[in-house]
Amino acid sequence: MSSEQTHFHYHADLNGLEVLQASFKQQNFSRHCHEGYTIGLIDCGAQKFFRSGHDHIAPKNSIILVNADQVHNGQTATEHGWSYRAMYPTPQHFEQLAHQLSGTRCGAPYFNQAVLQSPTLASQLHILLEALTEPSNTLLKESLFHTFMVQLMLASQHTPRSLKQMPNNANLSRSKQFLDEYCTQEISLERLATLCHLSPFHFLRQFKKQFSLTPHAYQIQRRLHKAKQLLKLGSTVIDTAQACGFHDQSHFHRHFKANLGVTPGRYSQLFKIQKVK
């Protein structure tokens, strides 16, 4: 049996919530980010990951918290690898629940803790993930999901997400926005540096300091975000790779698996199954 196993689950009845069930021994996730939060439970072994400028260790039964759009990576912290389950709620999931709790519009939270040790929450998350990775009815999934999310916000250290944004650099924001809009195109370093009125050398240093990724790595992230959307809509792997600016299918395959832990073909198949149901 392979030591690298992944299973993706998609829940349209929970506003597109994605769930990953995985077991790894050699997988090294490169630095990347997700549109949604990462809330994971370590089932076996331990995971080492970078977040908020530091490395963290998450042992068995601990909860991993990574904020939306926050750069992080992941690898084993033990000789025998690690197994975990994770869900990726969006900021909108949190905002809707916060609104229901307070009756006022509230921003999504920013979790200060990277690793949360709470037997009670870990037990609740285990039950929720069981429901999300096994056949369950919608009412059960929604009830468990809402209960856990509310308890997580009440029990963990967090601040309003807007207060934790990095200081805005107007020049760098222009280059970031340009990459967002034209991520599939070939873009030169000189073009980006010119947008910021910086030399290429200083632009590279400032961009990575501000966003924790090089411009190229950020471009890859935006291409992968676009690729996920196209695969969900039924685009083939080959067409998606071309549409998103990857040189060839193998190049796309390598980056996709390094970031999500699953191949684009496996990810695409998940949504084909959903449409048949």
For residue 48, give the CATH number of its domain: 2.60.120.280
Mark whether 183 and 263 lie in a shared domain. yes
CB atoms within 10 A of CB 52: 16
Beta strands in 155-210, from DSSP E residues, in sequence order: 158-160
Q: Final residue of a domain: which of 155, 186, 217?
A: 155
Mark whether 151 and 180 lie in a shared domain. no
Distance CA 143, CA 138 (A): 8
pLDDT of the residue at 102: 67
Residue 249 resides in a domain: yes
216, amino acid identity:
H
Angle at 52 between CA 19 and CA 111, to 5 degrees: 55
Mark whether 219 and 145 lie in a shared domain. no
Q: What is the CATH number of the domain that holds 214?
A: 1.10.10.60
Residue 164 resides in a domain: no
Q: Which of 188, 174, 122 is nearest to 152 (CA)?
A: 122
Distance CA 141, CA 67 (A): 22
Whether the Cβ atoms of residue 141 and residue 131 lie closer than 8 Å to each other: yes
Mark whether 79 and 208 lie in a shared domain. no
Mark whether 136 and 223 lie in a shared domain. no
Whether the Cβ atoms of residue 6 and residue 262 lie closer than 8 Å to each other: yes
Split into its structural domains, the chain has a count of 2
Find the helix or strand (DSSP H, E) in which 38 lies: strand 38-51
pLDDT of the residue at 113: 93
Q: Final residue of a domain: which of 155, 189, 215?
A: 155
pLDDT of the residue at 162: 46
Q: Does residue 48 sit in helix, strand or coil?
A: strand
Distance CA 116, CA 126 (A): 14
Mark whether 109 and 49 lie in a shared domain. yes
pLDDT of the residue at 230: 95
pLDDT of the residue at 170: 59
Residue count (the chain): 277
pLDDT of the residue at 277: 52
List the structure tokens of 200.
């290429």
pLDDT in tens, the chain (277 residues): 456 788 889 898 888 899 999 999 888 888 999 889 999 999 999 999 999 999 999 999 999 999 999 999 999 999 999 999 999 999 999 888 877 666 666 778 899 999 999 999 999 999 999 999 887 778 788 889 988 998 898 887 666 654 344 344 657 889 999 999 999 998 888 889 899 888 887 888 888 888 888 888 899 999 999 999 999 999 999 999 999 999 889 999 999 998 888 899 999 988 775 554 5
Mark whether 182 and 151 lie in a shared domain. no
Whether the Cβ atoms of residue 115 and residue 63 lie closer than 8 Å to each other: yes
Q: Does residue 125 sit in helix, strand or coil?
A: helix
* Range(s) of the domain holding residue 144: 5-155
pLDDT of the residue at 100: 67
Q: Final residue of a domain: which of 110, 128, 155?
A: 155
pLDDT of the residue at 98: 78
pLDDT of the residue at 1: 41
Residue 58 resides in a domain: yes
pLDDT of the residue at 137: 75
